[in-house]
Every structure is written in structure tokens, then in C-alpha cells.
Structure 1
Amino acid sequence: RYAGHNPLNRPPGGADEAHLVSGCIRCERCYEACPRQAIVPAKIEDGLLGMRSPMLDFNTGNYCDFCYEENGGNPLCVAVCPTAALELPATYTVGNPETGETGDIIIGTAEIDPRTCLAYRMTGCRDCYDACNYGAIELKDEGGANPIPYVVEDKCNGCGACQAACLSLSSGSIKSSERAIVVRPVEA
């Protein structure tokens, strides 16, 4: 992590926080290139040095599929970055949602909060499971009629589809500031 900066979910190629923050000129091309509008500017609350740099926001119903559908898995945000602040290794593989292959570009890992997850209240909710194209969320039978989800960390690439699909804030009775499943950034 970059000293004094909160860890954020960064777009593909933005895992090196110091490189991203120092190289980003805040041109907003990555926001415009994102076909799902999942890239937003970081706010001052996220850290002064990284303010207005690109971060992923999965709470708006959007996620990152690494532009698989639009550009064969070559992230458009990386392609339009004029300073290479978003930069992928020369050889990399991205996830393929059609085959469930995760790839080696990891944005983060999903975490489920059992206190706010609707499935843990035996509602039968499985929206995160249904949204995951990588097999990173599985259901475990706890002996009742409603299986509960859990994250298979080594299959999760942090695409955010599960978080975007989570209904806990709109359908839950527990007050929380974040959804029951959230993608946490990879710690350096």
C-alpha cells in the first residue's frame, strides 16, 4: 500500500498504488472508456494523494469483466491510459466468464459479512452466487432448506459482480453502511 492512503479497489493494472497515484494525471479517460461505468474518481475521504484517481465502485450495480465482452479481455481503461498509470504485465491472462477461468489479474477478493447477509437469515437469497461467473461463490448446506454462500478465495478475481448484485442494503432489516458482500482490494 501507498503510505497514508486507504486501500481502494483499483481498475485492472492499478494494483501498484504508488505507481498509479504518481502516474495518473486525472484525465478521466479510463472513466469514459469503461463500458459498465464501474470506474469512478476517488474522493478526498479515500486519501488526499489519490483524490480523483480511478477506483472501482461496485455499489452502483456495475462490475468489471476486464472488457471481456467488448474487447476480448483487454481492459479498455488500460488501453486508453496515456501515462501507463494503469499498466498490465507484458504477459497476463484475464478471466473468461464463459469458461469460469479466473486469470491472473486480480482486483480483490470478495468477503461476506454473515451479520448482514440475507442468506444467513435463511431467506434463500443467492444473488451473489447467481451473479458469479467464475465459481468463486459456492453454496453450503447448513442442514436447512436454504444453503448459504461462501467465497472460494482462490477462484475470486474481484470483478465485483457479486457485490453489484447484493440486495442486502435494499432488502435487509439490519442497518449497515456497506453491502453484505464486498470486494476488498488486494493488499500489497
Structure 2
Amino acid sequence: MIDLSKRRFFSKRTVDDTTIRLPWLANASKFTEQCTRCGKCAESCETNIIIHGDGGFPQVDFNKGECTFCYGCANACPESLFDKEENNPWEAKATILESCLATQNVECRSCGDMCDTMAIQFKLEIGKVAQPNLNLDECTGCGACVAVCPTSSINVSKLV
């Protein structure tokens, strides 16, 4: 087995603190030290959004779908990496980029249609198509809006 602590010592790469690993991680900063990369979390994901990311460690890919917060990944994990299900799954929120069709005055409301919590609403403006308005207090960071965006203008990342 490779000693990852030594590998990181010689690597100049820094850990991206905004990478969405998995919901309910108890200690995200120690995740790569504690995760065995067994893949059980990915096997148990009901929406198949958990992929093998950098170094084989699991991470969420919202281009594949949304997190339903089913807690399946946490239940399947043989390690003690996760918080209780009652806790907040993560501090992740969506952001809408300038490449959004609506900001380019092209009618599109795909993200708002997919948002169960209605965190993305569209506000009418004179002389423009309705513009997206993201309510971060309502956003769960589920990622349902990401895959449906035709211009890949929505990202979900951890708040830092």
C-alpha cells in the first residue's frame, strides 16, 4: 500500500477545499487520510453521482445528477467518516455564472424547474428575459440544477 502522507510531502499540489467529497463527512480535512477508497459509498449511491476522483478518492459529480441525501454512502462506509444523519449534510451552495443563458437574454429556466426547494426563482425585468435569483438560504447544495443547465453555468461548491 502507498503511504499517501509521504506522497503529499513531495507533491506541490494543494488540496482543493471546495471539492465536494461526500455529504455528512465528519472531518473533511482528514478525509484522504481515513478513507480506504473501497468504493462502497459509490456502489450504494442511489443516483450514481459518486465517482472516483483524484487519487481514487470518492467525490460527487453533479453532472451525473443530484444528491438526494439518502445517507446510503454513510451507511455503506466501513470507516467512521460520517456525522449523524440529523446533522446538516454539507455547507455547499450553488452559484450561477455569467455564461447563464438568461443573463445573455436567452429564455431558459431549466435550473429553476429542477430545484425542489425553489431556491432558484426567476425575476421579471423590463427589456430582458426573466433573470435567475438564487436564494442561498434555501439552497441545499443538492446539485439538481447542475446537470440540466445547457451551458454548464451552475457550480456547486463548499463555502469556505
TM-score by length of 1: 0.72
Q: What's 1:110 paired with?
A: 94
Q: What's 1:185 paired with?
A: 158
Cα distance in structure 1, aligned partners of 2:30 and 2:134: 30
| 2:47–2:68 Cα contact (<8 Å) kept | no
| 2:63–2:147 Cα contact (<8 Å) kept | yes
Distance 1:81 1:137, change over 3 A: same
Residue aligned with 1:182, SS: strand
Q: What's 2:60 paired with?
A: 56
- Of residues 129, 149, 152, the one that matches 2:135 is 152
Identity %, equivalent residues? 32
- Of residues 74, 80, 84, the one that matches 1:84 is 80
| 1:41–1:55 Cα contact (<8 Å) kept | yes
| 1:136–1:151 Cα contact (<8 Å) kept | yes
| 1:10–1:107 Cα contact (<8 Å) kept | no
**What's the CA shift for 1:13?**
1.5
| 2:25–2:89 Cα contact (<8 Å) kept | no
**What's the CA shift for 1:90?**
6.5
Distance 1:107 1:159, change over 3 A: farther
Residue aligned with 2:137, SS: helix
- How many pairs does the alignment contain? 147
1:167 aligns with 2:150: yes
- Of residues 66, 88, 108, the one that matches 2:69 is 66
Two-structure CA RMSD over aligned residues (Å):
1.8
Deviations along 1:10-51, one digit per CA (max 9) or x if unpaired, are 2111263223222100000001100111001112xxxxxxx2
**Would you identify which runs of 4 or more consecutive aligned residues in structure 1 move more than 6 Å?**
none
Greater gyration radius: 2
Cα distance in structure 2, aligned partners of 1:143 and 1:30: 48
Deviations along 1:43-91, one digit per CA (max 9) or x if unpaired, are 2xxxxxxx2111100123x110112xxxxxxx10000010022x12364
Cα distance in structure 1, aligned partners of 2:74 and 2:90: 14
Deviations along 1:92-134, one digit per CA (max 9) or x if unpaired, are 3xxxxxxxxxxx32351100112x1011122210000001001
**What's the CA shift for 1:160?**
0.4
Cα distance in structure 1, aligned partners of 2:26 and 2:159: 8
Distance 1:58 1:90, change over 3 A: closer
